[in-house]
Structure 1
Amino acid sequence: MNTLDNSTAAGLGERIRNLRGTRGLKQQDLASKEISASYISLIESGKRAPSDAVLAALAERLECSVEFLRTGRDDHELEEARLRLAFGEMALRNGSNGEALQALSEVLSSRSLLDAAMTRRARIGQATALEKLNRLEAALAVLDELHRDPDLAAGSAEWCQVAVSLCRIYRDLGDITLSIEIGERAMARLDALGLDVTVDHIQLGATLMSSYHSRGDLARAHLMGSRLVDTAEKQGARAARGAVYWNAGLVARSRGQLNEALALVERALALMSEDDNLRHLAMLKMNYGSLLLQVDDPEPARGKQLLEEAQHLLAEVGNAPELAQCEIFLADADLMLGHWDEAAAHADRALGLTGSESRIQAVGARGTLAEVHLLRGETEHAVLCLQAATRQLRQFPPSHQVALNWRYLGDLWKRLDNSTEALKAYDRALTAVGMAPQRDPAAALSDRPRHRH
């Protein structure tokens, strides 16, 4: 005899009783030599749990499936839910994020049909679709609840996927500290479990390395990258290795090692070119193209070609900030090629993509427009663009990316022969990476309370 808990047995008995009533049958009609009417009464009241053989016999007489009696889920409806879930996951892989979100939301609207594993898959897919649609707060709400689910086994592929997504979304929302805390706790948990390294583990490490990079902690990011490169090479998965080389390239770029960064990103692109993740491919092409503009021997024409390929992909699978960043890099390429009008058009499109939201890309776009005006000799317009960019950049909390933008604005102010604003921008760049100005000793003395005599 099967052992069921009281609530499960009661639910099964209630379904048998309700279905029998719907069919117009009495308990005696379900009885047989092996199953007495009194035993059926005990089953319906939840006092007995039928064996598999008894359940199969009852299902046959009630003209339903054993699965329906056990769970209340109709086989046909359950199969429809499985197919809808598979369609939603396939739509995600193909970059059809809106279709994926609709399909997965429909699956979750019939949650009574789903078991715990299917529900988790659908909710993880829902969070992924929301993130790709740049609805980060909504994705975070789903992921936080999943992360607290005691049935989500630490070290499992789903657990790693949730941890990676949380680490990445908090980073993208600007809460770098929490992003790193989540990533470090997850890595420590994996290390404590002593599990074999998988692609999911490497992806978690690569995301944590990206958060270190965003904070400006380049030494720790570099150490994490060194650890992950060896691990990824032994593990062997192309996508995992590509993710590690990609992030290692970003770190090398921030450390000023541009040729090394170019080699790493080029290797990442080769590894991930056959991956079905179009967004990753787009971002890699964008990074590779922009690096070709910055190395010792720049290749603006080739860089522009890669950036245009990235732009085409991002139009399908990217979000507004990513598209805006690609427009800024395209503007940089056109500036180097002497195409000033095209550069200004790219910068204007980047501003349009950022809209009224406070985005770091808007600062870069205004800086690019200032540069175009400088090249045209339109000093007053350049000053207006720089003033607007300066006001906007003050709104952002300190980070490595903010420091880079302050340095860029400082250089533009310097080209305008405005040393006062240039020095302010350079000072803010230093502060953004944690190098606060020293206190003036004279000011410290003046701040002391004066004693009356």
Structure 2
Amino acid sequence: MKRDREADTIGKRLRELRRSKGLHQQDLASDEISSSYVSLIETGKRVPSEAVLRSLAKKLDCTVEYLVSGRNESRASELQLKVAFGDMASRNGDNGDALQAYSEALAHADQLDAATVRRARRGQAQALEKLGRLEAAIPLLHELYEDAETVPGSAEWAQLAVALCRCYRLVGDLTLAVELGEAALGRLNTLGLDVTDDHLQLGSTLIACYMDRGDLTRANLLASRLIGVAELVGSRAGRGAIYWNAGMVAESRGQTDEALALVERALVLMAEDDGVRHLAMLKHTYGWLMLYGPKPDAARSKELILEAQTALLEVGSTSEQADCEIDLAFAELHLGESDAAFARAQRALGLIGSEPRPEAVLARVVMARALLASDDTAGARDVLTTAERQLGHLADSRRAAALWRHVGDLWERCERPAESGRAYREALSMVGLRRLPAPSDSFSGSAR
């Protein structure tokens, strides 16, 4: 049976290669091999000897190994170099080039070993995420996460769980993000493995999901528990990630001074680490807190976020770069630079794309504020109408409720009470406060 399968495979490969080169069976014939024997090989009725394979390979300008296994060593080497180029491009922040290299290599995955194929698939998913193509990244990440080769509890497994959780959060599916994060943390607890920085990062990502969902109690409880764990077993970067997210929980609870102290501690811990991207994101967070704290310092905030943006232009995702533009726009509004703020918000929209995402709505909130600062009320109304249309596509969350509140405030400044009232009602509904039903006619009248 095995010999029959081998004969059939070699014959099929021989026929396909011959035809691709525009050759006939007689073109492969020689003094030792007749054209009829070539026909028998191609139909799987004969298994060629080593000598026959060498003769056929020479005429077809391929290797014996290719005829037997389908692998072309020279082609495989080229593809491995392409994957290595993708790795280098990814490290340098050239995500478009990285995606192209990985995709080209994966188009010929049958020429690569399993480990290289897996590396390319992970790189492809990572590049898609950094380019903001989250809907395309998610199925690739799921496939890798659920692959039998992915060992639960391993560093790779934890990193894939973090990436999936983060992507679901960014596309606004907080239910799936939380479910996945909780299941992954539960699996780690069941396995009883030593805690690593990757595990702490998973916890940090889940904290962010809780906050976006408005579940500040769970976010606070998890942050408090992980701080204790991180102090015992975490590296400086791992501890920094936990303090960072604990700071964001404190800010969400209105404890801005505590938030600044926690994020300052995270900055000290991460400053000595080589994680350029995470340090830049943390600087951005610190600048953002300085802008919205009890004593706003717009100039210092802008300085910190510009430093973060410089690094994230090299190593960050399009979403992270857009966030920088939006918060820089807010800083410039505080500094009275409405035209510069409007331009930054437009650049942010260019990075985000056309999908209805919270960042896109927030960019339009900035644009509307900038237009109002320039006395362009009509322009602000048009922008707010578009923002409302996008908000209608977002799932209920604390973040979406805050955006509805911002839109309501701006409609009020536009002297449109009906629109502002509707926006405020939407904000209340998203945090679970819904309008009481009106009494029916039968209840209020003849029901006595």
Q: Report the TM-score when normalising by structure 2.
A: 0.78
**How many angstroms does 1:193 deviate by?**
0.9
CA distance in 2, matches of 1:395, 1:287: 27
The amino acid of 2:439's aligned partner reads A
What is the match of residue 134 of structure 1?
132
Change in Cα spacing, 1:24 to 1:376, as seen in structure 2 (3 Å) is closer
**How many angstroms does 1:348 deviate by?**
3.6
**How many angstroms does 1:223 deviate by?**
1.4
CA offsets, 1:231-272, max 9 Å, x none? 222223233223222222222222222222222233333333
CA distance in 2, matches of 1:354, 1:119: 30
CA offsets, 1:181-208, max 9 Å, x none? 1111111111111111122211221122
**How many angstroms does 1:278 deviate by?**
4.4
CA distance in 1, matches of 2:337, 2:426: 32
What is the match of residue 46 of structure 1?
none
* Preserved contact between residue 321 and residue 359 of structure 1 (Cα < 8 Å): no
**How many angstroms does 1:282 deviate by?**
3.5
CA offsets, 1:1-45, max 9 Å, x none? xxxxx979x879x999664433469xxxxxxxxxxxxxxxxxxxx
Q: Residue 190 of structure 2: which of 192, 197, 214 is its match?
A: 192
Change in Cα spacing, 1:127 to 1:390, as seen in structure 2 (3 Å) is closer
CA distance in 2, matches of 1:335, 1:177: 34
Q: Residue 93 of structure 1: which of 91, 94, 106 is its match?
A: 91
What is the match of residue 343 of structure 1?
341
**How many angstroms does 1:88 deviate by?**
2.8
Change in Cα spacing, 1:392 to 1:83, as seen in structure 2 (3 Å) is closer
Change in Cα spacing, 1:372 to 1:137, as seen in structure 2 (3 Å) is closer
CA distance in 2, matches of 1:18, 1:91: 45
The amino acid of 2:146's aligned partner reads R
Change in Cα spacing, 1:345 to 1:148, as seen in structure 2 (3 Å) is closer
* Preserved contact between residue 53 and residue 67 of structure 2 (Cα < 8 Å): no
**How many angstroms does 1:360 deviate by?**
2.5
What is the match of residue 272 of structure 1?
270
What are the equivalent positions in structure 2 for 1:33-432 lying under 5 Å apart?
A: 82-273=80-271, 275=273, 277-416=275-414, 419-432=417-430
CA distance in 2, matches of 1:324, 1:292: 19
CA distance in 2, matches of 1:447, 1:77: 80
Of 258-267 and 371-380, deviating more is: 371-380
* Preserved contact between residue 244 and residue 282 of structure 2 (Cα < 8 Å): yes
**How many angstroms does 1:387 deviate by?**
4.1
The amino acid of 1:128's aligned partner reads Q
What is the match of residue 37 of structure 1?
none
Change in Cα spacing, 1:378 to 1:21, as seen in structure 2 (3 Å) is closer
CA distance in 1, matches of 2:161, 2:228: 22
* Preserved contact between residue 132 and residue 352 of structure 2 (Cα < 8 Å): no
CA distance in 2, matches of 1:276, 1:75: 37
CA distance in 2, matches of 1:345, 1:434: 36
**How many angstroms does 1:382 deviate by?**
4.1
**How many angstroms does 1:294 deviate by?**
0.9
What is the match of residue 56 of structure 1?
none
CA distance in 2, matches of 1:327, 1:410: 23
**How many angstroms does 1:82 deviate by?**
5.0
CA distance in 2, matches of 1:438, 1:101: 52
Give 3-state SS (helix, strand or coil) of 1:444's partner. Answer: coil
Change in Cα spacing, 1:266 to 1:90, as seen in structure 2 (3 Å) is farther
Relative contact order: is structure 1 or structure 2 higher (C-alpha 8 Å, sep ≥ 6)?
Answer: 2
**How many angstroms does 1:298 deviate by?**
1.6
* Preserved contact between residue 93 and residue 277 of structure 1 (Cα < 8 Å): no
Give 3-state SS (helix, strand or coil) of 1:292's partner. Answer: helix
Q: Residue 53 of structure 2: which of 12, 22, 32 is its match?
A: 22
* Preserved contact between residue 328 and residue 350 of structure 1 (Cα < 8 Å): yes
What is the match of residue 15 of structure 2?
none
CA distance in 2, matches of 1:80, 1:244: 42
The amino acid of 1:446's aligned partner reads D
* Preserved contact between residue 328 and residue 341 of structure 2 (Cα < 8 Å): yes
Change in Cα spacing, 1:387 to 1:169, as seen in structure 2 (3 Å) is closer
* Preserved contact between residue 410 and residue 425 of structure 1 (Cα < 8 Å): yes
**How many angstroms does 1:293 deviate by?**
0.7
- CA-based RMSD: 3.6
